[in-house]
Amino acid sequence: MLTQLTKLFFSGLFYLYNFRLQDYFSTHGNPIYRKIPNKISRNITCFTHTCLGVCLSGYYQVSYSPTIFFLMSTVSSGYFLFDIWYNIKYDSRTISNLIYIYHHLVALFILNKSSDYQIYKILFWAEISNIPMYIVYHYMKTEPDSLKLEIWKQIQKYTYLIARIPILGYYSYQIYLITDEKIAFYFCFPIYLLGIIWTYILFSSK
């Protein structure tokens, strides 16, 4: 019970952080921020979670501290709960958004299994591959004609390719081999396939 309440607590923190950012961008700074404060604030909230996820999952791989694993799974669970709520409340019901919700539900399921599933390795590399995506999105909304956007698009392509296909493919296969319960692998495998599809889209786009 305490664990579930802690996850809801972190979900609430992400909620407050996101909407405080949104309120700030509505009234301060760059005119573009004031024009689309919800998109800017959500992107920064996602980026904040990504940084926390990389730091906590990376630190767990050198410390193997149960406390760090608990913090990692709780913070990320809180974020995914917040983002599912945000998606249902504010986003349209498209195929891509339904896939997004499925991704989050699978992530919640795996995060709350034991560390034997090596979710810390999956989370580390998945979030590493997400970092350029949030930077690209930020420049697309704020400086769509800048050279920085083009540079980060190239970084995004190759970071995503390396992290999502060979590295996560290897760890997914390792999870399949070392765990007796295969249901986690079967839930995750469609997400891996979607990563391949998204990589193709990235390299096909200009």
The 10s digit of each residue's pLDDT in 127-149 is 999 999 999 999 999 999 999 99
Residue 6 lies in a domain: no
Residue 12 lies in a domain: no
Residue 26 lies in a domain: no
Domain that holds residue 132: 45-204
DSSP 98-137: HHHHHHHHHHHHHHTS-GGG-HHHHHHHHHHHHHHHHHHH
Q: Tell me: the pLDDT tens digits for 58-82?
A: 999 999 999 999 999 999 999 999 9
pLDDT value for 112: 86
Residue 59 lies in a domain: yes
Residue 125 lies in a domain: yes
Residue 39 lies in a domain: no
Residue 7 lies in a domain: no
* Cβ-Cβ contacts under 8 Å for 92 (sequence gap 6 or more): none
The DSSP output letter for 182 is: -
SS3 91: coil
Residue 10 lies in a domain: no
Query: Given pLDDT bands bounded at 50, 70 and 90, which one contains residue 192?
Result: very high
Q: What is the pTM of this model?
A: 0.93
Number of domains into which the chain is organized: 1
